[in-house]
Amino acid sequence: EADAEAQEKPGRLIVISNRIPTDEVPAGGLVYAIHEALNDIGGLWIGAGTPSDEAQEGLTEVKSEAYDKATFSLSRTEYDRYYLGYSNSVLWPLFHHRADLLSVYERDFEAYREVNRRVARAVAEIARPDDMIWIQDYHFLMLAREMRDLGLKNRIGLFLHIPFPNASDILALPQGPQIANWLAAHDLVGLQTQRDVAAARETLRRDPDCEAMGNGNWLFRGREFAVLSFPIGIDAEEFARKAAESPVPELQLSPDAPLLLGVDRLDYSKGLVHRFRGFGAYLEQRSQHGTRPTFLQIAPVSREDVSAYQDIREELERAAGSINGAYADLDWTPIRYVRRHVARERLAALFRRANVALVTPLADGMNLVAKEFVAAQNPDDPGVLILSHFAGAAEQMQAALMVNPFDHGNFAHAIDRALHMSLAERQDRHASLRENVFKQDIAWWTRTYLNRLSRVPAYQEDRPRD
């Protein structure tokens, strides 16, 4: 009887992500969405604590109002190996189709496994049977498996924010053969796109323990799990409001000078060097008498301690220097490259001012900048989104001007077309993009994912194949 009662009480939501926000109300994006979900359902948000000399077991509570927050502990060595190492020098490049950038060290994987195990033990200590557990991203790919090994039978979901790798790239990973086993420990694996679901299908199919049931459902050693796409969105209303209300930062451009804008973390997956060269190709072929566009790229450094990130930074500076060297004039700098983080309000206003957004990653889970640009634009006189086929956002945003970022000629042509597009065509394209960005927003995403996870039937044990 007591059991039946416990079943009826809706469980808490336990979210695990590498980072948890320090502000009481996070500024925007994904963390805000999770904050809202936790506010609604109640529960606990777990993330990494500040690295220290030695890692401790268990969780440390963080003061917070509406729901609980806690950190797990990491040693400095683990930070180097689990975070900078396995997560960001192995999984990140591999999942972004850059197997050439892998630095695989056994000790990095050992630290990754140790951190995943420690978090699993900490969650097992505090989880109640009816709690829903929602794991975020590639830092915790084996966490659910570790939790199952400790006997947790809760509903467990994963959302992977980055692309799912090709089955052949996974062969470059020593732990590649275990991926299906890791994924199958969840009840629900959420991916950004149909393309990712297809890539996952390819990997799962190769595993002799996995059997496809159709509709995204799989059997792994007799236990069911699902792999489905849930394209993440933005808080479109809020971003549009910010964009309309915030003053545009002083750019020292004449008011009618065309502005092209790029906003990205400095990361090799974002295709910044290709973008600079594509803009260079446009400058080369444009007529000398036309307007002189300025391309403003905002790209704050990230993951500076990983060497691939230092390389990309130098390469980018060289590319900007050589293009500006060739085309700049006394009163015109074609590429402006800003490495600073820009406050959200200012960013929103810049998005609204821009005539063209260049969102041209070589690989990207979704890319929220594409959606932010659309939300920020004035529907009566909207700018043009130039979007790479390789952004996850491409699946929902076909009304953008689609480009192949590897093809400079194609890139140059798209910029030319964007700068000369008629008002009617801009409005048509924007209206269609806008509808999707506002409908499938961040609230839609959390709602859809958590509804699906909460409908998962009660846990069945794995059983050996007969």
Residues near ligand ADQ, by CB under 6 A? 29-30, 161-162, 232, 263-265, 298, 300, 341-342, 347, 364-369, 372, 392
Residue 364 annotated as catalytic: yes
HSE-CB for 262 with a 13 A CA cutoff: 32
Asked if residues 212 and 204 have their Cβ atoms less than 8 Å apart, the reply is yes
- For residue 344, the tally of other CB atoms under 10 A from its CB is 16
Give Cβ neighbours of residue 32 (< 8 Å, ≥ 6 apart): 25, 26, 235, 442
Report the sign of the C-alpha dihedral through residues 51, 55, 56, 58, in that order: positive
Set 364, 408, 430, 441: catalytic member: 364
Measuring CA to CA, which residue among 69, 119, 102, 260 is closest to residue 169?
Answer: 102
Measuring CA to CA, which residue among 455, 454, 458, 459 is closest to residue 40?
Answer: 454
Give CA–CA dist 357/370, Å, rounded: 8
Between 284 and 305, name the residue whose CB sits nearer to ligand ADQ: 305
Q: What is the DSSP letter of 25?
A: S
Give CA–CA dist 427/241, Å, rounded: 19
Give Cβ neighbours of residue 307 (< 8 Å, ≥ 6 apart): none
Shortest reach from residue 327's CB to ligand ADQ, in Å = 24
Shortest reach from residue 359's CB to ligand ADQ, in Å = 8
Question: What's at 430, amino acid-wise?
Answer: H
Give CA–CA dist 205/219, Å, rounded: 11
Between 36 and 416, name the residue whose CB sits nearer to ligand ADQ: 36
Give CA–CA dist 276/264, Å, rounded: 13
Between 7 and 302, name the residue whose CB sits nearer to ligand ADQ: 302
Shortest reach from residue 130's CB to ligand ADQ, in Å = 27
- Residue 3, exposed/middle/buried by CB under 10 A (0-12, 13-18, 19+)? exposed
Between 29 and 176, name the residue whose CB sits nearer to ligand ADQ: 29
Residue 274 annotated as catalytic: no
Between 177 and 249, name the residue whose CB sits nearer to ligand ADQ: 249
Shortest reach from residue 90's CB to ligand ADQ, in Å = 16
Between 131 and 372, name the residue whose CB sits nearer to ligand ADQ: 372
Shortest reach from residue 91's CB to ligand ADQ, in Å = 12
Residue 152 DSSP SS3: coil
Q: Residue 331 is encoded by which pair of tokens?
A: 């009163």
Nearest-5° Cα angle at 65, 60 to 68: 35
Set 96, 161, 274, 408: catalytic member: 161
Shortest reach from residue 450's CB to ligand ADQ, in Å = 16
Catalytic site positions: 161, 364
